[in-house]
Amino acid sequence: MASLRRILVRLIELVLTVLVIATINFMLVHAAPGDPAAVMAGQSGATDERFLNQVRAEYGLDKPYIVQLGTYLNKVIHLDLGYSFRQRRDVSGLILERLGPTLLLTLSALVVSVLGGILFGAVAGLRNGRWSDTLISMVALLFYATPVFWLGLMLVLVFSIQLEWLPAFGYASIRAATFTTWEYIVDVAQHLVLPVVSLAAIYMAVYTRLMRASIIEVSHEDHVKTARAKGLTEGRILRKHMLRNAAIPVVTFAGLQAGAMIGGAVVVETVFSWPGLGRLTFEAVTQRDYPILLGLFLVMSVLVIAVNFLTDIICGLIDPRIAAR
Amino acid sequence: MRDVIKAFFNRPTGWIGITLLALVCLMAVLAPVVYPTSPWEMTGPPFARPGDAGMVLGADTLGRDIASGVMHGARVSLLIGIASTLAALLIGVTLGCIAGYFGGWVDTVIVRFTEIFQTIPNFVLAILLVAILTPSIATIILAIGIVSWPPLARLTRAQVMTVSTREFVQAARCQGQSTASIVLRHVLPNAISPIIVAGSLTVATAILIEAALSFLGLGDPNFMSWGFMIGSGRTVIRQAWWMSVFPGLAILLTVIAINLVGEALNDALNPRISRA
């Protein structure tokens, strides 16, 4: 498990990040063209003067900037992310109810991309220079250049419209209310396949390339040569002596990519009408509902740090020397 | 220099990449010649299939020519890709030079700041920036620049740190040259080649970010872009696949071309650290 020091480091990072993001949010509200109160209220054009005055009073918008920033930070620390006038709801409540589907989507994509990357990268690295290596590297290059949302649409075109194998959008079928628990799980899993593949593909490509380089490097190390000299089978050498060492950079890098992956979830959820934070982002963008956007930015950043913490723990499990540090 | 060019074209990635990229640039340059009317104009029947009504790639829901949109879209993609990379380089290289050359607490502060910026979901920040500052070419370039500089800053810092310890930099310092002159004339030129490679790859990611932004409806409403075309075609994909397939292929082609060029540049400029 992760040591106390690691936990402390991540906690400090969490506090600093929340501070920086709240400050960025605050600066953006004031950099926006027009009245900051209108931005906080989330409306451009038709405005309810009473509500605007309420917002002005609540955030102290007539006070000096530094006091306003203090008021805003205080609210954020107390998990008050403002009020969406359009949805007539608290932003934190709206975000909370969309959290589950996004966690399901991004964590599945994270696991699929890391495992797939390790698998294909190991195969390519072990067959360095042969046709299977060339093929894997070329496919990786292709996926690395594919826009995530377009890949999603193409998967829908092939697997939902042409072949009719998998559902094209949503989280569960309309009839889901009549399902037993097991049927419901299968149903959600079927809806999950295409979004996860679209989101995972680009990262799987990155991790494949990383794992390939990593395996090639590890295979030249002394302990692997020793294992080979002892006459161990190639499979055993790979499992016992190479895989763990080679996977560490991949998992570490996957943690660093968490932010990008959550960003990718925005377009994937838009394509697949997946009812998570990404879809909420798209809805907030089309309605120019700024309080929701500002809140989402904060919550998604906190999620990234949580994923980083998770990869810390996983790295510690793969290589106990890291946890002991 | 001649060696670099030779090494660049020696690998298939080099000449394939440069050919594809030339093709995309040609599309951007020739767009107003081949399709002089605005890509927003209705020029044929809505939902025309590829090949119908003289439209090679078909028409969209409002009868706008897809081929015209794809060609005009190349202009916006390349412009935003290059301009926002330059913005990211400006921020990243400046911060990286300061951190790497001065070290000490300045370095610590810049590194911490960069790390926080790297954990932030950068696409979400880009969405927020463009949505709040209202979408236009300028705000999109600014937003992509702001979210793309951290890797460039880290790379520049590492490069500057290694080059700064070399003898010729110490010699320049002993001659009493100004700090600015040492950094700009001695350190940076010797640290630049990996930065050029990273910059070229940043153009590719910038194009992908721009496409995703305009897909979400955050593109400049005055310019036709690939992401916008896919975004508006996506709701009718069941009836009309061509509206989203062709612009997507254009993005794919452009990004592959830039990645191949970047990889070949890497092999040519940094032969020691590139993969054997």
**DSSP one-letter string for B81-135:** HHHHHHHHHHHHHHHHHHHHHH-HHHHHHHHHHHHHHHHS-HHHHHHHHHHHT--
Q: pLDDT-based confidence at B151, cuts 50/70/90? A: very high
Residues 6+ apart with CB under 8 A from A305: A10, A13, A14, A17, B119
A83-84 and A89-90 beta bridge pairing: antiparallel
- Structure-model confidence comparison of residues B50 and B73, the more confident one: B73
pLDDT for res A43: 59
Looking at residue A2, what is its pLDDT?
Answer: 53
Buried b (16+ CB within 10 A) or exposed e, B130-160: bbbbbbebebbbbbbbbbbbbbbbbbbbebb
CB contact under 8 A, B131 and A305: no
The answer to whether the Cβ–Cβ distance between A24 and B234 falls below 8 Å is no
pLDDT band at residue B274, thresholds of 50, 70 and 90?
Answer: very low
The residue that leads in pLDDT, B269 or B48, is B269
Q: Which residue of B has its CA nearest to A42?
A: B132
Residues of chain A contacting residue B234, judged by C-beta atoms under 8 Å apart: 149, 153, 271
Question: Higher confidence at residue B186 or residue A174?
Answer: B186
Q: Which of A87-96, A133-142, B11-20, B43-52 has the lowest mean pLDDT?
A: B43-52
| Partner-chain contact A149 B212, CB within 8 Å | yes
The arithmetic mean of pLDDT across residues A93-105, rounded, is 90
> Which residues in chain B have their CB less than 8 angstroms from residue A290's CB?
131-132
Predicted confidence band at A251 (pLDDT cuts at 50, 70, 90)?
confident
CA distance A21 to chain B (A): 8
In the structure encoding, which two tokens stand for residue A242, read together?
Answer: 């190479």
Q: What is the pLDDT of residue B21?
A: 92
Residues of chain B found within 8 Å of residue A139, distances taken between Cβ atoms:
none
Q: Between residues A111 and A69, which one has the greater pLDDT?
A: A111
Distance (Å, whole) CA A61 – CA A52? 11
Question: How many Å lie between the alpha carbon of A237 and the closest alpha carbon of chain B?
Answer: 24
Higher pLDDT, A210 or A318: A210
Q: How far apart are CA B169 and CA B106, in angstroms?
A: 20
pLDDT at B276: 37
pLDDT digits (tens, 9 = 90+) for A178-215: 777 888 888 888 888 899 999 999 999 999 989 988 88
Contact across the interface for A301 and B119, Cβ inside 8 Å = yes
Average pLDDT over residues A57-84: 78
The one-letter amino acid at A165: W
pLDDT at A42: 66
pLDDT of residue A46: 55
Alpha carbon of A258: minimum distance to chain B alpha carbons (Å)? 8
Q: Which among B215, B255, B275 has the least Cβ separation from residue A149?
A: B215
- pLDDT on residue A55: 76
Q: Which residues of B touch A (CB under 8 A)?
A: 112, 115-116, 118-125, 127-129, 131-134, 204, 208, 211-212, 215-218, 227, 230-231, 234, 237-238, 241, 244-245, 248, 251-252, 255-256, 259-260, 275
Tell which of A23, A44, A150 to mutate to test the B interface (max B CBs under 10 Å): A150
The first and second tokens of residue A245, run together, are 């060492």
Q: Are the Cβ atoms of A297 and B275 closer than 8 angstroms?
A: no
Mean pLDDT calculated for residue range A66-77: 80
Write the DSSP symbol of residue A62: T
Q: Specify the pLDDT at position A47.
A: 63
Of A80-89, A217-226, B66-75, B164-173, minimum mean pLDDT range = A80-89
- Note the pLDDT of residue B138: 94
What is the distance between the alpha carbons of residues A156 and B236, in angstroms, rounded to a whole number?
Answer: 12
CA–CA gap between residue A205 and residue A202 (Å, rounded): 5
Task: Sort out which chain B residues have CB atoms less than 8 A from A33's CB and list them.
Answer: 133-134
Contacts of A150 in chain B (CB under 8 A): 211, 230, 244, 248, 251-252
Q: What are phi and psi of B40, to 5 degrees?
A: -85, -15
Q: How confident is the model at residue A319 (pLDDT cuts 50, 70, 90)?
A: confident
Mutate to test the interface with B, among A149, A206, A217, A288 (most CBs of B within 10 A): A149
Mean pLDDT value across chain A: 83
What is d(CA B123, CA A206) in angstroms, rounded to the nearest whole number?
Answer: 18
Mean pLDDT for the stretch of residues B238-267: 90
Q: State how far the Cα of A257 lies from the Cα of A271, in Å rounded to an integer.
A: 21
The pLDDT value recorded for residue A266 is 92
Closest listed residue to residue A295, CA positions, set A87, A142, A147, A116: A87
Chain A: residue whose CA lies nearest to B239: A161
Three-class secondary structure assignment of A119-149: HHHHHHHHCCCCHHHHHHHHHHHHHHCCCHH
Q: Residues of A with CB below 8 A from B127's CB? A: 266, 281, 285, 293
- Give B237's contacts in chain A (Cβ within 8 Å): 153, 156-157, 161
Q: Note whether A305 contacts B127, CB cutoff 8 Å.
A: no
Nearest CA in chain B to A282: B216
Residue from A194, A202, A216, A285 to probe the interface with B (highest B Cβ count within 10 Å): A285
Q: What is the pLDDT of residues B85-110, one digit of tens each?
A: 999 999 999 999 999 988 889 999 99
CA distance, residue B23 to nearest chain A CA (Å): 17
pLDDT at A11 (0 to 100): 84
| Greatest mean pLDDT range, A42-51, B17-26, B55-64, B111-120 | B17-26
